Structure 1
Amino acid sequence: MRRIAVVTGANQGIGFALVEGLAARMNPEDLILLTSRNSARVAEAADRVKGVAQVEGRVLDVSDAAAVAELAADLQAQYGGVDIVISNAVAPLSPDRSQAEQADQFIAVANGGTQSVLRSFGPVLRPGGRLIVVASSLGTLDQLDPKLHPLFDGPSFEQIEQTVEEWRLAIHAGTAADEGWPEWVNTPSKVGQVAAVRAVAARRREADLPQNTLIASVCPGLVDTRASRPWFDDFSQARTPEQAAVPILDLVLADRVDPATYGELVRDGAVLPWRGNQSSEEKALA
């Protein structure tokens, strides 16, 4: 059966490397949609892909929930669903501007985009499919103040969405620090992404695993990209986007799903503990 894949944030960096890797490893009849929000960059990137599978550029702004839902519905109508979805879109953060000034766009893309992809593409994922969110090891619970843990550890998908929105509002109200939120918005954002994946997976696990379907988040490690360049001085140990894409593609294209990875944050094939390096007291209370 012809497989249909969608990659968001795919005109450059890891997203482009994921598309090119899929194109090399999938079959000639398969179709990969390379999506991003800039039409010119989408067209240019799609033309650059070399591989076996078919690649089509498609304009998609993941911060537009209606647009994400429309694409999912179109693919359901045209192909009967999708087989691979990789949510990779992210808005870059600049150290030259305040975190609060950049929060709205960053959260809209990283968290709003993740939430929209999970909500709209989860229902059209065919049996045996893969729905993957590119996140970070910053997405483990221990990266946050312990008093914030209950907001992400166990609530429903809808409750996590509400928590992310309340955090965004607290940033603008000037109350975020008093509530325990770190100044750097990337950390709560990543925890919110991973928590959203976990919440959706908790609902679907019983039905998905017998069908060899995987929902998970992944950490690509430190990668030399446009988004990471302003924040690090030493990239000697960083991966290229092509290198970072390999373990993600191995997870996506594996014949069988390892149940231990279902709903989890995975880096290089290994699960990163959700609660991270907790104290003995925290573990006892968990």
Structure 2
Amino acid sequence: MTTPRIALVTGANQGLGFALVEGLGARMGPDDLVLLTGRNAGRVADATLRVAAAAGTRSRVEDRVLDVSDADAVARMAAELDERYGGVDIVISNAVARVTPDRPQSEQADEAIGVANGGTHAVLRSFGPVLRPGGRLIVVASSLGTLGHLDPRLHPLFDGATLDEVEQVVESWRAAVHAGTAEAQGWPRWLNVPSKVAQVAAVRAVAAERRAADLCDGTLVAAVCPGLVDTPTSRPWFDDFSRAQTPSEAAGAVLDLVLSDALDPATYGELVRFGRVLPWHGGTPPRSQDELLNH
């Protein structure tokens, strides 16, 4: 008898996260369980009902309230699932706070960093230990997450860093944003560049510690870039959405990686876009908002 699989997606009540749950619900088995999580109980419950009622849904879908910026709450969720089900098989860290270009970045820093980076760190720390052999632990980032998008002065802060060190760098950067000294230190004006680099650096840090054991049992820890997706979060940044994907289209490539039976060792610990690895040291620092939008 096959053991039912347990999947969890953060930030899943709308956009890409919702589409990822839809896709998991359609592509996993009837005995499997997909947990749709978010921090607003009403929205999470409504989203779960919509997925469960969809014609293509095969798996069980349940809602859970989870604020990923609360590391203790993430730890409790992981412990609960470990106790109840003996671990989890798929975890997709997708939660993000909306950042807009029309407000000072310093006003948005705490929530954005707390959700994207604090949430990534908490998920990696708490769900890594309860991931079953052959599981998937995936962080949704972007192509901006390669080291080359930062000023070369900042590269040594992330290159080869441990998760503790990545967390320390993120807090130092946050403090510099509030102090008004970030740009003088080489940090980009736009929060999403260092935030994405830090997310990928955190994945690389955890993967470096787990690599040998994970590759032996077919477990994947990686970051993914879903490409440009037409969502309320991305809308304020782009004028032309003619080449953007719908959330469902973007979820497809991510789920192909997540649900593949075969693990390509080259993708382990890396940032993957449409099945291809983006070189960690690739990219160049955006010099303007226009250049930022072209990545």
Fold equivalence (TM over 0.5): yes
Map Cα deviations across residues 160-185 of structure 1 (whole Å, 9 max, x no partner): 11000000001111111111001101
Q: Which runs of 5+ in 2 are unaligned?
A: 285-295
1:44-193 equivalences under 5 Å are: 44-49=46-51, 50=54, 51-193=57-199
CA distance in 2, matches of 1:54, 1:189: 33
> How far has the Cα of 1:277 moved from its partner?
4.3
The residue aligned with 1:23 is 25
> How far has the Cα of 1:96 moved from its partner?
2.4
Map Cα deviations across residues 215-253 of structure 1 (whole Å, 9 max, x no partner): 000001110001000110000000000000001000000
CA distance in 2, matches of 1:66, 1:160: 19
Q: Which amino acid aligns with 2:44?
A: V
> How far has the Cα of 1:155 moved from its partner?
1.2
Q: Which runs of 5+ in 1 are unaligned?
A: 279-286
The Cα RMSD (Å) is 0.7
CA distance in 2, matches of 1:48, 1:206: 40
Name segments (4+ residues, structure 1) moved above 4 Å: none
What SS is found at the alignment partner of 2:21?
helix
What SS is found at the alignment partner of 1:178?
helix
Kindly tell me the number of residue pairs found equivalent between the two proteins.
278
**Aligned partner of 2:241 among 235, 242, 249:** 235
The residue aligned with 2:16 is 14
Question: TM-score, normalising length from structure 2?
Answer: 0.93
Q: Which amino acid aligns with 1:31?
A: L
Identity %: 71
CA distance in 2, matches of 1:191, 1:169: 17
Q: Which amino acid aligns with 2:107?
A: E
The residue aligned with 2:34 is 32
- Whether contact under 8 Å (2:166, 2:198) holds in the other structure is yes
